[in-house]
Amino acid sequence: MQTYLVVPLTLFVIFILKRIVEFRNASHASKNVPGFRILLNLFGLNNLLPRIPGVAYGKAAPLLKHSDFAHFGCDIISIVSAVPKAQTIFMLADANLFKVVVGSRFQFPKPYELYNGLSFWGENLVVSEGDGWKRHRKISAPAFSESNNKLVWQETISVMQELFDNVWGDQEQIVMDHALHLPFMIALFVIGAAGFGRKMSWNDTRAPPTGHKMNFQDALEHSSANIPLKALFPTWMLRLTERGRKINIAYEEIEKYMLEMVYEGKIARASGGSRHDLFSKLLEASEGDMTGEKALTETEVISNIFVFLFAGHETTAHTLCFAFALLALYPDEQERLLEEVIKYTPGDKLPMYEDAHSMTYLTAVINETLRLYPPVVAVPKRAAEDTTLVTTNHAGDSISVAIPKGSLIALNFCALHYNPKYWENPHAFNPSRFLGDWPRDAFMPFSAGARSCIGRRFAELESMVVLAMIIKNYKITIKEEPQFAGETLEQTKERIFQLTFGVTQTPKRVPLVFTKRV
């Protein structure tokens, strides 16, 4: 019996000693960079734990904004962890270094293996690098065209008009215990129309068509709402619970619908038809002769469109929810936005696509919301070779940081957006900071460089229409609740902006009231 114990015990001791040596080496290599020395890697169990000194950096680290960097007095900090393997991450909050990293795609490639959970149907723009990424990008880019931008604008107007006419109707007040469901459904319907070419309804109760277990709208809604679970857990594990089985069915159904649309698109193009939704445009571009690249396979088309649209859906829904809450908390800013909206949409006039660039305060409100609550907290890169990054610490001294080959670099957008070196009073909601000159290099809600978000304009235009139409027709206020009577503004803000973290920063509970304007 003792013999059987010796072998595993010896292997365990060797494992521990190896990790200790690797951890000490990594710590020594980062000795001139202040930061954290912890047990658990940032990717894994750490994301389920609070901050535990010496153990976990913590899932809620984004809530600290720029605090860690301020504490160490430098806009580069290091995080060295031990298990499951020794890992060094250099976290950045320096705008100049952001430019260096995003501008050097080959020197700082994306560690795309960390995104494998998003390759539900194969390779796509997110989970690819090198020549594969270039191919996906070159083929995908034409789909995000001016014609699609106009379609996004018009379809968002259509979705909002149906909401006002057929859902909210003559109600003087619409009270919501959590307002996230509203922009979630709006963004879903816009994706259905401008993304897939399929209009959906607020009151859709249609039965699934022959050969399907869910109608398209339900499949789209359930698959979109459960991306984190689908990315984290394999199909067999999801089958163990009722919710998991429903998620599996939703993904099977959305794949089936998309394959049908591939077939329908080929027939339509063969007969000379043309549409401007993203799915149709990507199918056209994927045939290869338009770009000179090898055509995307059907599964690659499906994989790309899914990642584009669902990442965009969550981004837009959460941004709009944060914007509603901010405007409710700052009524003067809401009134200023109303004045601009009325200027460009007097009487019964609807927002015009041609006025998008002129509505500067509306754009400023969206930008300030994205600054305070960037959808993606941080993006990882990997050093492809030994290199050096140079910054200035908070005392004004120049600091050179040696980055060993293979190290991870995290672009911390939250910290950048709250860095007082670039933003005066960074915790305040002040849309006016985006009027006139402002530090463009320190604003990266959609990343930057070659790998910046390809669907940025889609999300921006949709957000502009929704905010303009909501503010023109309804005043937004915080729902009054007896248990919170007597709160100060700061206490209300702290409660309203509690977050959870999934694919993007998610508002936990935003209780709002929409009161019809007279």
Split at pLDDT 50, 70, 90, the class of 4 is low
495 vs 486: CA distance, rounded Å: 13
Cα 296 to Cα 328: distance, rounded to the nearest angstrom: 45
Q: Binning pLDDT at 50, 70 and 90, where does residue 437 land?
A: very high
Residue stretches of the annotated binding site for heme: 453
Say which residues have a Cβ less than 8 Å from residue 147's Cβ, sequence separation at least 6. Answer: 276
Structure tokens at 490: 């700061």
How sure is the predictor about 288, in pLDDT bands with cuts at 50, 70 and 90?
low
Q: Considering the chain, what percentage of its residues have pLDDT values greater than 90?
A: 45
pLDDT for position 271: 66
Checking if the pLDDT of 68 tops 90, the result is yes
Binding-site residues, in ranges, read 453
Residue 59: its pLDDT value, please? 78
**pLDDT by residue (tens digit) across 193-246?**
888 787 888 876 678 888 899 988 888 888 877 877 887 788 899 999 999 999
Residue 431 has pLDDT above 70, yes or no: yes
- CA 83, CA 15: separation in Å to the nearest integer? 10
Mean pLDDT for the chain overall:
87
How high is the pLDDT of residue 2?
Answer: 62
Q: What percent of the chain has pLDDT over 70?
A: 94
Render pLDDT for 318-331 as a digit per residue (tens, 0 to 9): 999 999 999 999 99
- What integer is the mean pLDDT of 176-186? 93
| H or E stretch at 173 | strand 173-176
- Residue 269: band (very low, low, confident or very high) from pLDDT cuts 50, 70, 90: low
Mean pLDDT value of segment 26-55: 82
242 vs 46, more confident: 242
> pTM, whole model, 2 decimals?
0.89
Segment 289-309, tens digit of pLDDT: 555 567 778 788 888 877 777
Q: Please list the residues that pair with 380 across neighbouring strands.
A: 410
pLDDT reported for residue 292: 58
pLDDT at 16: 74
**Residue from 203, 202, 242 nearest 226 by CA:** 242
Cα 242 from Cα 208, distance rounded (Å) = 20
* Tens-digit pLDDT profile for residues 350-375: 999 999 999 999 999 999 999 999 98
Contacting residues for 383 by C-beta, under 8 A, at least 6 apart = 107, 108, 403, 404, 405, 406, 407, 408, 409
Sign of CA dihedral 54, 58, 64, 69: positive
Lowest-pLDDT choice from 72-76, 330-334, 366-370, 503-507: 503-507
